[in-house]
Every structure is written in C-alpha cells, then in structure tokens.
Structure 1
Amino acid sequence: MRINRVLNNNVVVVKEGDEEIIVMGSGIAFGKRKNDIISTDKIEKVFVMKDEREYEKFTQIIDQLPEAHIILAEEIITQAENELKTKLNEHIHVALTDHISFAIERFKQGYQIHNKLLNEIRVLYSTEFEIGLWAIRHIEKQIGIRLPEDEAGHIALHLHTAKVNSTSMNQAINTTALLNELIELIEEKLDVKVEQESISYQRLLTHLNFALRRVAEGEAFQDVDEDMHQLVKEKHHIAYNVAVELANYLAEVHQYDLPPSELVYLTLHIQRIQRTKIDEVGQ
C-alpha cells in the first residue's frame, strides 16, 4: 500500500482506484510521507468512509484530539463490531471518538458524569451496555482513568444507533426517556419504588419498548377476547387503572395510541410490580 495522505503517526490514507481507504496502526506513518509504501505488518485496522462529510469530520478530529483518545475509540469500535457481529455505521468513527475524548477531558476536570437513563439502557440495550462496561475497563487499563458506569450507558447508545437500520440517536434517547417517565408514573401511582434489578422491571420495560415501537411503525397488536379483558380488569383493578392512566398519558402527551388489548398485557406486568409491594408489606 502506498500512502496518499498522512493524518498522523498512526493513521494514513491510501488510495485504491477512486476509493480512499483509512489505514491505522501504531507508528505506521512515522517518518513517512506521501507515496511512501507502508509495511503491511504494521496495519491494525482498515476502513472506508464513503460519505465525504464524515470523512472530513474524521480528519478534523484526528487533527484536534489526542492520538490516545482516537486509538481508544477505534479499539472500542472494533470490539463492538466483533461482539455485535455487524459493521457499524461509519459515523461512529466521528461520534464515538468525539464523545470518548470529551468524557475523558470532563472527568479530568472533575465534572460528574451522570446518566439518568442508565437503568433503561442497561435493560433495552444489554449487549451494547456490556460492551460499554468493557470500554470503561479498557480505558482504565490503557490510560489509567476509571470512568463511571454511567458512561457505559452513553457508549451503549452510540453503539446501538450505529447499527444498520437502527434508530437515530435522538430517537433512541427520546424513547428511553419516555420509558423512564412511564416507570416513574407507575411508581407514583402504586406508591412503590421499582426494583430495577428485578425480572418484573426488565419484562415491563421490554414490553413497553416493543409496544411503543409497534405504534410508531404501525404494526398490529395481538388481540385479546372480551372475556379475558373483563377478567383481568376485575381481578387486578388497581393495576388496570394504572395501565389506563399510562395509556391516556401516552395518547394525550406523546400521541401514542395503544389499543384496548394492550391494557390487558400492561395490567399483568404492572400487577407483578404491585405484587412486590404487597409481599414486602406482608413481611
């Protein structure tokens, strides 16, 4: 491979036909200049950025951010692609690198990193969250800085939205924030603190997430016969009333219209949360 452009000591651009390829490796460009040949045994990562705007942003980041932060971000991206078994959107090279560097600098300056949506992210994007935890350990190992677990949630969102056919970052954050609102509403109506490590919480959150997605994408919901609906309504009337309030809130505030059948499933999930409170009172 022959160098077309040196970005820094660890990153070069080579050209194959009309395509510019980014090649990374420790010290791969040290003492090199345009048209020099690079040693293949120094190559650690190769990728293409077909979007010219993303390519320009990436080259700017390389000029502006510490090399150590760029290398860390690329190592996290490689780990994520291996774990998720998919190529991530090329924007991740810009977005995650910028985010990682900013998080490290904020931490050095003593700013607290807080992620209000951490528990929801942990459940909804569990694989990405585990990669986020790996990233925190990796950052500590490489540069001696231990970012808080909250940061694993931020990294997880970046990875989730970089998957092919995934939602945008704004959509993912908005949906996760809405789910957080719904959990808080349930806690308020039942006068209970939901145990966020419990299976009941995880099942409720996952169900709500899929319900919102079905509404947004116009997918059909599973029908429930009227007898079953009436039975659940009478047997679990407190949980059912909370489910109705949730449905009204979604319709009035967020324009999500849940079908009547969904009230049955929501009631059963909410009842499990209520059951936890009853069990605690009885002890």
Structure 2
Amino acid sequence: MLIYKKLNNNAIISKDENHKEIVVMGKGIAFKKDIYDEVDEELITGIYALKSKNQQSKLQQLASEIPYEFFAIASDITMNAKKILESELDEGLLLHLADHLHYSYEKDKKGIKTPNLMLNEIKQFYKKEFEIGIAAIGLVNRRLGTRLGEDEAGFIAFHIVSCESTSGTIDANDLLIKMQKIIKAFEKYLHVTLDKESYEYSRFIIHLKFFMTKMITSTSRNDKSLSDDSLYQMLVEKYKNINECLDKISAITLLDFNYELTDTDRMYLIIHLARLVNK
C-alpha cells in the first residue's frame, strides 16, 4: 500500500485493489514519509472508504483536522449500533460522530456543557438509540478521560436516528415529501437557494429529519417556554428574518400536520439555518 497524499502524520490517502481512494489512519503512519512511500501496515488502525464522493471528500477533510482516535471510537459506536438495531446505517454516520465527538471533547476540556433540549423526546421515541448513546458515552469517557453525560448520549442517539435507513413507523417516502415541502418553504420565505452539496446543508438535514419525525409522531407537546432563556432570546433577536420565516413554517405545519413549532424547535432550526444561510 502506497501513500498518495499525506493528510497529517496520522492519516494518508491511499488506493485499494480497485484503485479507489481510501483514507488510512494510524498513529505516526505518515511521520517522516513521502509521497509513494510504502505504508507500515503494522501502524494501521483504520481504513475508511465512503461511496458518496461528497462524503469521501468530507472524510478526507475531517481526517486532516481530527485525531484518528475519534474515528476509531466513532467506528466502534457505529458497529455497535448496527448490531443492536440489526439494520444498516447511512455511511455518513462515521463522519457525523467523529466530528461531534471531537467537538464535545474540546468543549469538555473547557468546562462547557450544552444542555440537550430534546433529551426527553429522544428517550421517549428512540429508546434503543439512547441506550446505544449511553454505552457510547461510557466508551468515550474511558478512552478520552472526558466526563460526558446523558445530554451527550442524547446527541449521539440523535445522529444514529438520523442515519437509520428506515424511520421505524414513519413511511420513508411520506417523510421525504414533507421534508421537501418544508425546505422549499424555507427557500421561498428566506429568498435563498440552499446549497444542497454543502456540509452545512447535510448537518441541517440531520436536524430537519429529526424534527419532522418528532412532528409526525407527536400527539402532545409539553416543551417548556424559552421566553426567559438568554440564548434563545439572543438568537431570535439576531436572526429576525429566520424567526419570521419560522412563523410561516409553523403556520404550514399547523395546517398540514396539526403541529405548531415549539420554542425548542425554533431554537435549533434558527441555529442550523443561520449556519446554512450565512456560511
């Protein structure tokens, strides 16, 4: 196996037997190595290849920025999820988990905690995925020395749910049609054309898919008001155009699905739409 490109000392791009690009990781695998040098196979800890060109490109970018240990942990979590759920998961789960775990690790080092405002819904609607998240957090804490808790377990469950090939009791085609309608409404009311190929859009779709699943399956809403939450008020004030857009989206969801956006829904949608529209 040859080195075709060095991403950093711990990650390189090589090619498999079919001459397709693969990302190969291992501690020190590219240290003091040049292009076309042989890879020391004893150092290899992971080989990753994604079918989607966009996902493969993002994999290479993340591999150059994130220590290989996060990919190793993400890979273990993914395999455990597949085993417990007995289903295939979208290949992008590896990227989302590695990216999220690295972000969570950096926050934990700084003593920053992010409350998961959807934790109750995750526990209620996605019990298996949440149990996988709890096991995953235990793994992360042991390997990285972090002190992550239930909130982060919920975020991991969130990513797993969003990458499941089916949506349980949700008709996949019905969910897709509803998502397309909401996306078109966002573009219409915000006067933008969303970049469907961007990573920001991919992350937005993860949240939108979760939101739509919650909207379709919820028979009652007991989300607390965030009127006294300083972060929520700051977001609403800073992104008035997006919040006004969400007023119109809420009217659509109320008419079509008998669901009115909660403050929690608004908070997360504002965050993700702001990243997407202002990237």
* TM band (smaller chain): 0.5 to 0.7
**Residues 29 and 117 (structure 1), Cα distance of their counterparts in 2 relative to 1, 3 Å cut:** same
Matches within 5 A, 1:188-203: none
Which residue of structure 1 lines up, in the alignment, with residue 141 of structure 2? 140
8 Å contact 2:11–2:64 — kept in the other structure?
A: no
Matches within 5 A, 1:151-166: 151-166=152-167
8 Å contact 1:107–1:113 — kept in the other structure?
A: no
In the aligned structure 2, how far is the partner of 1:90 from the partner of 1:255? 32
Compare 108-117 and 74-83 and name the one that shifted more: 74-83
**Residues 87 and 42 (structure 1), Cα distance of their counterparts in 2 relative to 1, 3 Å cut:** farther
SS of the residue 1:132 aligns to: helix
**Residues 252 and 144 (structure 1), Cα distance of their counterparts in 2 relative to 1, 3 Å cut:** closer
In the aligned structure 1, how far is the partner of 2:13 from the partner of 2:62? 15
SS of the residue 1:182 aligns to: coil
SS of the residue 1:23 aligns to: strand
Displacement after TM superposition at 1:153 (Å): 0.9
8 Å contact 1:117–1:180 — kept in the other structure?
A: no
In the aligned structure 1, how far is the partner of 2:150 from the partner of 2:255? 30
One-letter amino acid of the structure 1 residue matched with residue 35 of structure 2 = K
SS of the residue 1:3 aligns to: coil
2:210 aligned to 147, 172, 175, which one?
172
**Residues 253 and 143 (structure 1), Cα distance of their counterparts in 2 relative to 1, 3 Å cut:** same
**Residues 118 and 181 (structure 1), Cα distance of their counterparts in 2 relative to 1, 3 Å cut:** farther
Which residue of structure 1 lines up, in the alignment, with residue 118 of structure 2? 117
One-letter amino acid of the structure 2 residue matched with residue 141 of structure 1 = R
| RMSD of aligned alpha carbons | 3.4
Which residue of structure 2 lines up, in the alignment, with residue 3 of structure 1? 3
8 Å contact 2:11–2:68 — kept in the other structure?
A: no
In the aligned structure 2, how far is the partner of 1:62 from the partner of 1:155? 20
Which residue of structure 2 lines up, in the alignment, with residue 59 of structure 1? 60
Displacement after TM superposition at 1:252 (Å): 7.6
Matches within 5 A, 1:72-111: 72-111=73-112
**Residues 79 and 164 (structure 1), Cα distance of their counterparts in 2 relative to 1, 3 Å cut:** same
In the aligned structure 1, how far is the partner of 2:67 from the partner of 2:44? 20
Matches within 5 A, 1:3-82: 3-16=3-16, 17-82=18-83
Which residue of structure 1 lines up, in the alignment, with residue 129 of structure 2? 128
8 Å contact 1:4–1:12 — kept in the other structure?
A: yes
Aligned residues: 196
8 Å contact 2:45–2:72 — kept in the other structure?
A: no
In the aligned structure 2, how far is the partner of 1:72 from the partner of 1:27? 18
Q: Deviations over 1:230-273 (max 9, x none)?
A: xxxxxxxxxxxxxxxxxxx999815137xxxxxxxxxxxxxxxx
What percent of counterpart residues are identical?
31
**Residues 105 and 7 (structure 1), Cα distance of their counterparts in 2 relative to 1, 3 Å cut:** same
8 Å contact 1:7–1:62 — kept in the other structure?
A: yes
One-letter amino acid of the structure 1 residue matched with residue 78 of structure 2 = I
Displacement after TM superposition at 1:114 (Å): 1.1
**Residues 145 and 130 (structure 1), Cα distance of their counterparts in 2 relative to 1, 3 Å cut:** same
Unaligned runs of 5+ in 1: 188-248, 258-283
Q: TM-score, structure 1 length as denominator? A: 0.57
Q: Deviations over 1:50-101 (max 9, x none)?
A: 3222222222222333444444333333433344344432322332222222
8 Å contact 2:3–2:36 — kept in the other structure?
A: yes
In the aligned structure 1, how far is the partner of 2:49 from the partner of 2:29? 17
In the aligned structure 1, how far is the partner of 2:211 from the partner of 2:135? 22
Q: TM-score, structure 2 length as denominator? A: 0.58
SS of the residue 1:255 aligns to: helix
In the aligned structure 1, how far is the partner of 2:78 from the partner of 2:33? 26
**Residues 174 and 112 (structure 1), Cα distance of their counterparts in 2 relative to 1, 3 Å cut:** farther
Max Rg structure: 1
Displacement after TM superposition at 1:130 (Å): 1.6
In the aligned structure 1, how far is the partner of 2:110 from the partner of 2:140? 17
**Residues 82 and 20 (structure 1), Cα distance of their counterparts in 2 relative to 1, 3 Å cut:** farther
